Amino acid sequence: MLEIDMLGPRPVDEDDNRLLIQALDAMEDAGDDLAQAVVHARWALEIDPACASAMLVLAENARNRAERIALLKEVVSIGKREVAPESDFHINNTRVIMTALAELGDELSAVGDVDGAANCLRLLLDMEPQDRLEARIALERIEGGGLALRP
């Protein structure tokens, strides 16, 4: 069975829960077939509109930057409601939000929103002080005047 990160309320109904797991399994099994991954992500979101893992798949396959930013912001919003800041990086419920924070920081930096990008990186450092995602380097680059998060 899939060990994918899911944030947000799980369906209470046993059948819905089973369907959500099937949708998420199929989403992961789609592999490099992005169109299939998106289809299964949409299915998962029909079952659980707060399924951050599925929303992240949609964000990563968005048609444009504005849509991608909006979806990443929603993933972060779900995560803020569901994940305590002191959560360990390796606990399932933190990986999706941390990925979304890193990607959102990159996107906001690319559109010139330095404050928004810096806020994402600070949240990421709060969640993962060991900084395995190198948020500190990116934050120093932003605060030092170099907008690009990634060289």
pLDDT at 113: 94
Which CATH code fits 64-151?
A: 1.25.40
pLDDT at 90: 47
Task: Show me where the domains of the chain are located.
Answer: 1-61, 64-151
Low-confidence ranges of the chain (pLDDT < 70): 1-17, 83-93, 145-151
Collect all residues with Cβ–Cβ distance below 8 Å to 16 and sequence separation of at least 6: 47, 48
pLDDT at 59: 94
pLDDT at 116: 94
The string over 104-140, giving b where at least 16 C-beta atoms fall within 10 Å of a residue's C-beta and e elsewhere, is bbbbbbeeebeebbbbbbebbbebbeeeebebeebbe
pLDDT at 3: 36
